């Protein structure tokens, strides 16, 4: 399905707020908007594993629309996961019940960098773009559609830790033990993210959320990886709202 002639947008509260324009009420959407609290989502997951839902545009569209059909929200957010990028870069990612996303073979040391590939985003992550385009049409202009990605440090941490971590000890050690190799990983991830966000917007995403961690902003906020994501990220397409979601920023 192509993005030609998307239905006109009926609720633009979120996009107006993102531009700093006057709005009549605060727009509302929910983190993990499509998720386990919905019985209809549980029904889909009983038949399909997590990443199969992410990688099947019709299923990703279906679960993205579920909360929009149930609640009076002001935006939808495409059902996907930040770890589709490490998958496209050659690493295995599994969703383990009771544990969460797990990389059974994380990067142990710089010799593992040969395992990473620079993906062709429009080919290897095409399913995300297809899900976005399909969802834009199925929304019929009711609310805008948000796309998203993890930030370089967030993704690098998962790729080294092998899963989520509150301390990110192994990833931090990489920064100090292997600074040049850490730079290589971050640069590679950054370039993939930029291609990924551009692809999402071309597919129909109307706002982009970039997940960053507080520690990355505190310690590396002036790095070129933050700058590359913050400036010139959408050079050849119409301007789209880009927001940063920074966990723990209230304590900075």
pLDDT tens digit sequence for 144-195: 999 999 888 899 999 999 999 888 899 999 989 999 999 999 989 989 998 9
pLDDT at position 120: 98
- Catalytic annotation, pick one of 136, 158, 215, 225: 158
Q: Is 45 a catalytic residue?
A: yes
pLDDT at position 161: 96
pLDDT at position 188: 93
- Catalytic annotation, pick one of 12, 81, 124, 130: 81
Q: Residues near 94 by Cβ (< 8 Å), separated by ≥ 6?
A: 51, 101, 102, 103, 104
Q: Which architecture, in CATH terms, is 12-224?
A: Alpha-Beta Barrel (3.20)
179: β partners: none
- Catalytic annotation, pick one of 12, 45, 136, 215: 45
Q: Is 81 a catalytic residue?
A: yes
Q: Is 158 a catalytic residue?
A: yes
Q: Is 32 a catalytic residue?
A: yes
pLDDT at position 210: 74
pLDDT at position 231: 46
- Catalytic annotation, pick one of 32, 70, 115, 224: 32
Residue ranges of the chain with per-residue pLDDT less than 70: 1-4, 212-252
Q: Is 36 a catalytic residue?
A: yes
CA distances from 157 to 175, 216, 246 (A): 10, 11, 15
Domain locations in the chain? 12-224
């Amino acid at each position: 399905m192509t993005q030609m002639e998307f239905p006109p947008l009926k609720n633009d509260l979120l996009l107006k707020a993102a531009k700093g324009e006057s709005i009549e009420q605060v727009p509302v959407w929910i983190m993990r908007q499509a998720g386990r609290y919905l019985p209809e989502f549980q029904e889909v997951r009983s038949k399909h594993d997590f990443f199969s839902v992410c990688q099947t545009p019709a299923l990703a569209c279906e679960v993205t629309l579920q909360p929009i059909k149930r609640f009076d929200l002001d935006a939808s957010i495409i059902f996907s996961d930040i770890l589709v990028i490490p998958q496209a870069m050659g690493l295995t990612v599994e969703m383990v019940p009771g544990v969460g996303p797990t990389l059974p073979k994380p990067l142990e040391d710089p010799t593992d960098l040969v395992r990473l590939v620079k993906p062709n985003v429009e080919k290897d992550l095409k399913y995300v773009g297809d899900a976005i385009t399909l969802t834009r049409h199925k929304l019929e202009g009711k609310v805008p559609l948000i796309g998203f990605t993890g930030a370089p440090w967030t993704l690098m941490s998962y790729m080294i830790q092998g899963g989520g971590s509150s301390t990110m000890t192994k990833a931090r050690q990489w920064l100090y033990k292997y600074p040049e190799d850490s730079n290589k990983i971050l640069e590679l991830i950054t370039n993939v993210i930029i291609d990924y966000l551009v692809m999402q917007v071309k597919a129909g995403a109307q706002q982009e959320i970039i997940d960053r961690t507080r520690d990355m902003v505190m310690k590396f906020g002036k790095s070129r990886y933050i700058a590359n994501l913050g400036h010139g990220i959408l050079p050849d397409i119409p301007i789209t709202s880009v927001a940063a979601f920074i966990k723990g920023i209230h304590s900075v």
